[in-house]
Structures are given as structure tokens and as C-alpha cells.
Amino acid sequence: YNADTKGMLKALWELPEQCARAWELGMAADVSPLDDLRQVVVTGLGGSAIGGDLLRVYAAQRLDVPVVVNRDYVLPEFVGPHTLVFAVSYSGNTEETLSAYAQAREKGASLVVLTTGGKLGEMARNDGVPVITVPGGIAPRSATGYLFIPTLAVLYRMGLLPDLSHEVAECVSLLQSMREELKPEVPRDSNQAKMLAASFHNRIPVIWGSSGTTEVVAQRWKGQINENAKAPACWNVFPELNHNELVGFEFPGELLRRLYVVILRDPQDHPRVQKRFAITREIMEGAVAGVVEIMARGSDALARMYSLVYIGDYASVYLAMLYGVDPGPVRVIDTLKARLA
């Protein structure tokens, strides 16, 4: 392995401990309960935004207020004194997030910042905004634990979520056992992530989740394949895709043979959605290179989401290795940011 691959594999190996540490960081944050909170907004981009979606999905059944994820310069109109805004940027220098942070301040929202530092960290400290400083040195997308789990602890500390320390502990121990199956030393025929990478190789992965817990994971897999393997991928969600995307699979010719479909499943998927998986699979089989279903593990939704995230993260790094690319650097994003400067 080259240095970037080693670094990415190390970050993956350490994800369980990252999640445990992330809970502690959130518990230590300097926050206090808010009166009459009406919405939670997570503003960030790329690897710093996906944690917002994990929160949105995970908190859906547990929070009395909606969670909205903002991936833009501009915050939604409703943001105001009754909104809690988590401004998240691993580098602390993403211009869209800096703009949204400034807007949140103007609108009188309560803010909590998650970052390694950068301009965002500096601005927040000068403004007296609580900052959760997370460890640097890894790719932002490898830091989902640091960028998501502290938000659960903060919402608990504000009296908005129950104490989730047991759920975090379950997630940590599940990931610790899973990494023994997914690590590079485990050969392909017993390593689910390596098998997936081999199936994706020279094909376009199409990742489908359901509007329960796996929707966000499908999006995560797509992003990880893009950024780590430097390869295209698509994602969509049941039942919506049964009303449009499925029709595209009637396309004649060889094009569809380049697609490899993954259906991410959760034992708690709606029974009608489970039926849709089976019928959709029957319709598609033969048209595409392959269809595989992957079931989430664990009892709590946090563990179930992360079990699937973990498999996809490892698969994306193994795919990078098959393509002979470095999973770490995202030069095209750096170039784009530099050209915008």
C-alpha cells in the first residue's frame, strides 16, 4: 500500500474508537439548553455534511423538531432565533460553510461549530460560539464519527435527545467486530467489502437505499466511491425509484450491463418496501451486471446505519486499490477551491 492508502485504511480501522471519542467530545462541549427550539439545521458540504444526514435520519423518530441539512451558501428562510445551527467543516475553510455561519449569526440562531480549526474555528472563538474541536490529519469523509456523533451528545445535553451512550457503545463494539472481517488481511472470498469492490470494478455502482435508515447510507456509498475510488456512482431511494428510475432499466442494448446494483436493507424497512425490493430485483436481474442485497447489522438504528456505512467505506478504498488510485487526496476539489479563491 502507498502512504495514502495506508492512511485511509488506518482511519477506517480506527473508526470505532473515533465514534467513542466523538461522543466524549460532544459531552464536553460548552452548551446549555435552549428555550423554544423549533428546528435544527446542519450546514456543511461533502464529508462534513453527511453527518447532518445521519443526524436527520437517526433523529427523525427521536426529536420533537425537524433536522434540515443545508449544503449551500444560503441558509433556509426559516432560520432565526429559534433555530440551532451546527456549522460543520473539517478544514474550517469551506466558503459555503463560512457564508452560512455568518448568516446564522445575522439571523440570531444559536450556533455550535464542529471543525479542526481554520477560519471557522477562529471566527467562532472570536464570536464566543461553542466550538467542538475534532482531531485533524485524516480526510474529512473519514471523520464522520467526529463530525456527527458530537451532535447527538449536544442534543442530549440540551435535553432534546435521550442519553445515547449505550447506543454509541453498541455501535462501537459492532464496528470493532466488523473490522476483523473487512480488514485487508482477510481474503476476497470471505471479505464482503473486497467482493463488492471486485463487482464494482470497471462498472458503475448503483446504490439504492430506502427512505428509512438506509437512504443516507446509499448517498454515503456514492460519495465514498466518487472521492476515494475517483469513480462515478449513482444512488437513489425506495419507494421513489420505483416511480421513475426503474423505467430506465428498460433501455435496450449493452449499456445497462455496465451497472452493478446494491440494495441496502434494514430489518425495519417498511413491509411494502421489502416487497418492492424483491419485485424490483426480479425485474432487473439479467438486465444489469449484477444485483446484491446487503442487510444492516445491530439492534439500534445507529449501529445499523454505521454497519452499512463501514462496508461501503472499506469497499470504496478497495476499489481505489483496484483502480490504482490514491484514496486520500481529492485534487479536483482542491483545484476547484483554489480557482474560486
Tell me the catalytic residues. Answer: 227, 243, 337
How many contiguous H segments (helices) and E segments (strands) does the chain have? 13, 9
Measured from the CB atom, the residue of 114 and 193 that comes closer to ligand PA5 is 114
Smallest gap, in angstroms, from Cβ of residue 304 to ligand PA5?
A: 23
Q: How many other β-carbons are positioned within 10 Å of the β-carbon of residue 223? A: 19
C-alpha cell belonging to residue 154? 449536544
With b for 16 or more beta-carbon neighbours within 10 A and e for fewer, the 106-134 pattern comes to eeebbbbbbbbbbbbbebbeeeebbbbbb
By C-beta, is 147 or 197 nearer to ligand PA5?
147
- Residue sitting closest to ligand PA5 (CB): 46
Q: Rank residues 70 and 91 by Cβ distance to ligand PA5 and give the closer one.
A: 91
Closest Cα to residue 37, out of 112, 113, 133, 131? 112
Rounded to a whole number of angstroms, the distance between the first and last alpha carbons of the chain is 34
Positive or negative torsion for Cα 297, 301, 307, 309:
positive
| Residues 160, 36: Cα–Cα separation, whole Å | 11
Half-sphere exposure (Cβ direction) of 195: Cα atoms closer than 13 Å = 14
CB closer to ligand PA5, 150 vs 212? 150
List the one residue from 97, 110, 191, 280 that touches ligand PA5 (CB under 6 A): 97
Taking the least distance from each CB to ligand PA5, the nearer of 266 and 313 is: 313
Cβ 337 to ligand PA5 shortest distance, Å = 7
Nearest distance from residue 140's CB to ligand PA5, in Å? 3
Interface with ligand PA5 (CB under 6 A), residue total 15
The residue among 76, 46, 74, 58 whose CA lies nearest residue 222 is 46
H/E stretch holding 105: helix 95-106
Residues 127-146 that bind ligand PA5 (CB under 6 A): 139-141
CA distance 184 to 189: 12
Positions in 41-80 near ligand PA5 (CB under 6 A): 45-48
Binding residue for ligand PA5 (CB under 6 A) from 23, 90, 221, 310? 90
Cα distance between residue 314 and residue 194, in whole Å? 8
- Binding mask of the shown chain, residues 218 to 247, with x at each position contacting ligand PA5 by CB under 6 A: ---------x--------------------
Contact region for ligand PA5 (CB under 6 A) — 51-59, 89-97, 233-241, 312-320?
A: 89-97
Residues 305-324 that bind ligand PA5 (CB under 6 A): none
Minimum CB separation of residue 303 from ligand PA5 in Å reads 23
Cβ-count burial of 195 within 10 angstroms (0-12 exposed, 13-18 middle, 19+ buried)? Answer: middle
* Closer of 26 and 298 to ligand PA5 (Cβ): 26
Tracing cell 425495519 back to the chain, one arrives at 268
175: cell is 464496528
Task: State the nearest-atom distance from the C-beta of 73 to ligand PA5, in Å.
Answer: 13
Binder among 18, 94, 151, 236 for ligand PA5 (CB under 6 A)? 94
Is 332 an interacting residue with respect to ligand PA5 (CB under 6 A)?
no
Which residues contact ligand PA5 by CB under 6 A? 45-48, 89-91, 94, 97, 139-141, 227, 330, 333
